[in-house]
A and B are shown apart, each in its own frame.
Chain A
Amino acid sequence: MYGGGYIQEEKQEATSPIDDSQKLAEFEARIDRGEKIEPHDWMPADYRKQLIRMIEQHAHSEVIGALPEGTWITRAPGFRRKLALIAKVQDEIGHAHLLYSAAETLGKSREQMINDLLTGKSKYSNVFNYPAKTWADVTVIGFLIDAGAIVNQVANSKGSYGPYCRALERICYEESFHLKQGHDAFITLATGTKAQHDMLQDALNRWWKPIMHFHGPPDKISEHTAKLMRWKVKMATNDDMRNQFLDMYVPKILEIGITIPDPNLKKNEATGQWEFSDPDWDEFKRVINGDGPCNAERLAVRQYVEEHGKWVRTAMMNPNQKVVIPFA
């Protein structure tokens, strides 16, 4: 997972320092030629800022995204599913490491990023503010949320910032396993007993709205997409990514007898665009701003882990410290 492709916008754009116009022209020409930008190259302040925000949010999404699945490892049905889920969760944490390292090349330290996550200042993908109530939720996440993330990550791996592209290439390689194991678990439930089928249908019904939110608000209400696309920070618009996702995955849901809880969902063959009911963008905004079913729980777990891991980190910082033998 889990870059939602949606860069959550800050309330008030700080005014960027005025950039050198000749350097800006060279920078944009370089991007037009398909060259990659490297950490020590000149770049507009706004390019740096947007990339930090995007890569940081992507990294946080990997960390927080591992929580709903992580809690299901002990309860996953069968040894093979447990092993696969452990491997997947480890991959997601690995993705976070790769992404924090990429973001650090732009000048924000990992400690700062984690602190901003803990205080709620930085965002992460909105879908993880929803609960994974049953095993079927885990299969919906593993199949469809990872699928949505792959659409975004494959696009972004062709972007302009070298370190981010390199991290994404490796991430995409691992994601192919996530998608496949999720699809396998999804099909198993869909084609299993009636209880299994119903459990999956119920999970998909609850997840459909967050899935439709995943790639971010429609293009007509999201700001500054044009500049981000010109700079190849963003490689496809929210609507394009959502459309591509629906194209690829709606047939895979329907072919195994699961229905989608939106009577208006259909592809307009003339335009090639999917049409669907309004997925409640007000709810999306509410949840992103802290008022979702699991926001507090997710941050509380992160806080707990940081605080209780602190002594280990501190101990490892002082490898030469003598062991003191207790008196009694």
Chain B
Amino acid sequence: MSKIPLNTPVLDPRIKRVDLESTYGTTAIGENEHWISWEVFHQKKRGDQHVHVGIVHAPDAQLALLFAKEQFGRRLACVNLWVTKSSDIFSFSYDDEDIFDNATAPEKQYREASGFRVMEKINRYKKSKQKA
């Protein structure tokens, strides 16, 4: 690991202030030392749904809320945030994506408003009345 050679002109005041030589070169971050992941949900205004916006790392829910406020609540409108542990989220696998194909399948038109054409029938009726 490289050390700052003595008499290098250094511009960062933090280096000028401390004797960096004595503390430098040994740091390694332990696993989970930067904490676990939390999913953040953002509510733009009262009455809106909370919408997922991203992740923060925190040791507990309180700090997760604090970091979420800094990350996702410091710009743009916000009235409320939720956090939940990422590990508490259950989801389908994208491998099973096709189980949802049914939702928009053409043969399911009988349960859509657009699947019913009343005007055609009304017009046909009106026409037949006129002829009569």
Contacts and interface: CB of A to CB of B under 8 A. Distances in A.
A162 B35 CA distance: 23
Nearest to A101: B55
B2 A296 contact: yes
A300 to B, nearest CB: 5
B30 interface: yes
Contacts of A319: 59-60
Interface string B32-73: 111101000000000000000111110110010000001100
Contact of A115 (B14, B29, B37): B29
Contacts of A317: 33, 35, 59
Interface string A295-321: 111011101111110100110110100
B34 A316 contact: no
B27 A118 contact: yes
A101 B57 contact: yes
A118 B2 CA distance: 11
A184 interface: no
Given A97-B56, A316-B63, A111 B24 contact: no
A109 interface: yes
Contacts of A167: 54
B23 interface: yes
A71 interface: yes
Instruction: Bin the interface of chain B by size.
Output: 35 or more
Interface string A280-297: 000000000010001111
Given A101-B57, A133-B11, A303-B27, A110 B34 contact: yes
Q: Which of B3, B8, B11, B26 has the most CB of A within 10 A?
A: B11
A111 B59 contact: no
Contacts of B8: 296-297
Nearest to B32: A111
Contacts of A220: none
A94 interface: yes
A120 B27 contact: no
Given A120-B1, A296-B5, A316-B59, A111 B25 contact: no
A174 B56 CA distance: 18
A90 B24 CA distance: 25
A311 B70 CA distance: 22
B34 A304 contact: no
B27 A307 contact: yes
A174 B35 CA distance: 26
Nearest to B11: A131
B13 A71 contact: yes
Interface string A33-65: 000001011000000000000000000000000
A127 interface: no
A135 B94 CA distance: 50
Given A40-B94, A301-B15, A304-B20, A296 B60 contact: no
Nearest to B53: A170
Given A38-B94, A111-B34, A296 B29 contact: no
Contacts of B56: 97, 101
Nearest to B10: A297
B78 interface: no
A227 interface: no
Contacts of B32: 111
A211 interface: no
A90 B75 CA distance: 12
B28 interface: yes
B60 to A, nearest CB: 6
A114 B29 contact: yes
A132 B12 CA distance: 10
A190 to B, nearest CB: 24
Interface of B: 1-5, 8, 10-15, 18, 20, 23-35, 37, 53-57, 59-60, 63, 70-71, 74-75, 93-94
Given A98-B54, A101-B54, A319-B60, 13 more contacts: A38-B94, A68-B11, A111-B30, A111-B32, A166-B54, A290-B2, A297-B11, A297-B15, A300-B20, A313-B33, A313-B35, A313-B59, A319-B59
